[in-house]
Chains A and B, each alone.
Chain A
Amino acid sequence: MYVAVKGGDAAISNAHKLLADRRRGDRSVPALRIDQIVEQLALGVDRVMAEGSLYDRELAALAIAQSRGDLIEAVFLVRAYRTTLPRFGYTNAIDTGAMLVERRVSATYKDLPGGQLLGPTFDYTHRLLDPEIAAGSPVDEPEQRDVEEGRMPRVSEILAHEGLIEGDGDMPLDHVTGDLTREPLDFPIERDLRLQALARGDEGFLLALGYSTQRGYGRNHPFVGEIRIGEVELELDVPELPFAVPLGRIRVTECQMVTQFKGSAKVPPQFTRGYGLVFGQSERKAMSMSLCDRALRAREFGEDVVAPAQDEEFVISHSDNVQATGFVEHLKLPHYVDFQAELDLIRRMRAEHDARRTDHVEQQREAAE
């Protein structure tokens, strides 16, 4: 039974007004502009785009400002916004081999074609807080060097030439690409749907699961074959034009994780692979995603499913932080009637418990006499 209880209107409205005030903070401090967030909190913006599953820097930055820097709340705002827009279609698949590369490293080949390009990385910094940033000191222009021409093949292509590694990952020809934004998930699911869910999954959750596989819970001995970050072109087929229309470029991070061998009576042993692809610059997320992708292929490789990271339904059902926060946080909403019922129940249980104890004591006394 639901009983409507009214009376919170004024409190709610005043709470929202107070929230707006606290969000703005001290008025003598200049208000943050959206372009400042886009430029200077760029990796936070990337995370909101990735987990909000919507590539739009300005919208993600607005969501960060509105949520006071609470990134999961910002992801929620972005997800809510995207439901208000019509859909124009599916783009052609991006070609990460043709990326305008800004960072590219491999832990498996030192001298790979195109080389190791560190790019704007936190790696090899000393993790010492920098007072110059607090002082607002000017920053030097970056160095430049002549560019060597030539293709930068994905590392998987290099290993593939020798047949030492499995292919990129094909689906049967008649397979229709799954889309979890159109149809609810029905387990077990295929790898394409898993990758869609992982691409929008919570970074912290996937990081912890990826870490668990390294510590022995679904071990598969990974190497980073390659991480590359950069911009790729987007194109969309539309009926009004005789060619795929160019939409502009987006920045993505790709991780090719190479893991230990699998073979069969027909196929000699090969390296297996996990794949990670994330909006923006986020190699921690891309690496975690590739570890989880590989762990979740346990069934395909006939491995025993013994660890949480290998359990498809467990991982995919709990990776979405908007769903997770919705269900956890709903617990704070009024449950007065539910709780009243629980109170009645516990009072009845305690009364029965007391009655039983009184009976028991009386029986003992009678036995003693």
Chain B
Amino acid sequence: MKTDRRHEKEEALARKAAMAALADAPGETLKALWDEAGLPRDAQRLRGPETGLVTVRGRIGGGGAPFNFGEATVTRATVRVEGGSVGHAYALGRDKEKALLSAIADALWQDASRRNDIETKIIAPLQAAQAEADERRRAETAATKVDFFTMVRGED
């Protein structure tokens, strides 16, 4: 029972990580990977793709009580694929095709026989590209770090 619950939790974390990679992906990159992988684009649309707003929350002082900071555009979609599994997608921006493909990816991910396909052909390349871009950004920022040194003036 306990291992079941742990398995469920691990699975939820892996699914969330896959959804994060999809949400962060540039639409063009996702579409190119999708075509290259020859994955199906047809699915029953249960909701959307549709664009709406989320209100972004911050915290007073960085870690205090929440306040409403501003809004952001988000596009979401829900689909059902062959075999019956239902997939969801949410991402910042207004790219409806990206939301649709992301929802299909989420649905296929939940199908044990397709998960590996989605992980290796879509999620892994997206995560690799994002990690590389983040690493480059960190290294560029690190080059602007101030190295303080003290100048000794005059004679003792």
* A residues neighboring B (CB under 8 Å): 49-50, 53-56, 58-59, 82, 85-94, 96-97, 100-103, 110-111, 115-119, 142-148, 154, 156, 167-171, 175, 177-181, 191-193, 195-196, 199-200, 233-234, 236, 238, 240-243, 245-250, 252, 254, 256, 273, 275, 277, 279
Task: Judge if B117 is at the interface, Cβ distance under 8 Å.
Answer: no
Segment 49-69 of B: residues with Cβ below 8 Å from A: 50-69
Question: In the complex, which of the residues A56, A97, A243 contacts B93, with contact meaning CB atoms closer than 8 Å?
Answer: A56
Residues of A within 8 A of B112 (CB): none
Q: How many angstroms between the C-alpha atoms of A193 and B135 in the bound complex?
A: 37
Q: What band does the interface of chain B fall in when counting residues whose beta carbon is under 8 Å from A?
A: 35 or more
Known: A85-B52, A117-B141. A196 touches B68 (CB 8 A): yes
- Docked complex Cα distance between A246 and B89 (Å): 9
Known: A88-B52, A143-B140, A146-B139. A93 touches B145 (CB 8 A): no
Q: Is the CB of B60 within 8 A of A91?
A: no
Does A116 lie within 8 Å of B24, measured CB to CB?
A: no
Chain A nearest CB, measured from B15 CB (Å): 8
Some 29 contacts from A to B, beta carbons below 8 A apart, are A54-B72, A82-B71, A85-B73, A88-B90, A90-B68, A96-B62, A117-B146, A142-B143, A145-B142, A145-B143, A147-B139, A154-B62, A156-B63, A168-B61, A169-B64, A171-B64, A179-B55, A181-B68, A181-B71, A191-B60, A192-B66, A195-B58, A233-B20, A243-B15, A245-B90, A246-B24, A247-B74, A248-B91, A250-B92
B53 and A195: CB pair below 8 A? no
B66 shortest CB reach to chain A, Å:
5
Measured between alpha carbons, how far is A354 from B54 in the docked complex, in Å?
A: 65
* B129 CB-CB contact with A under 8 Å: no
CA gap between A168 and B65 in the complex, in Å: 8
Distance A238 CA – B76 CA, assembled complex (angstroms): 11
B73 contact from A59, A93, A171, Cβ within 8 A: A59
Instruction: Check if B65 sits within 8 Å of A145, measured CB to CB.
Output: no
* With A55-B72, A85-B73, A191-B60 as contacts: A177 and B66 at CB distance below 8 Å: yes
| B123 sits at the interface (CB 8 A) | no
**B138 at interface by CB-CB < 8 Å:** yes
The reply to whether B88 and A89 form a contact with Cβ atoms under 8 Å apart is: no
CB within 8 A of B90: which of A97, A110, A199, A238? A238
How many angstroms between the C-alpha atoms of A133 and B64 in the bound complex? 44
Residue B144 CB within 8 A of the other chain: yes
CB neighbours of A180 from chain B (8 A): 68
B143 and A143 contacting across the interface, CB-CB below 8 Å: yes
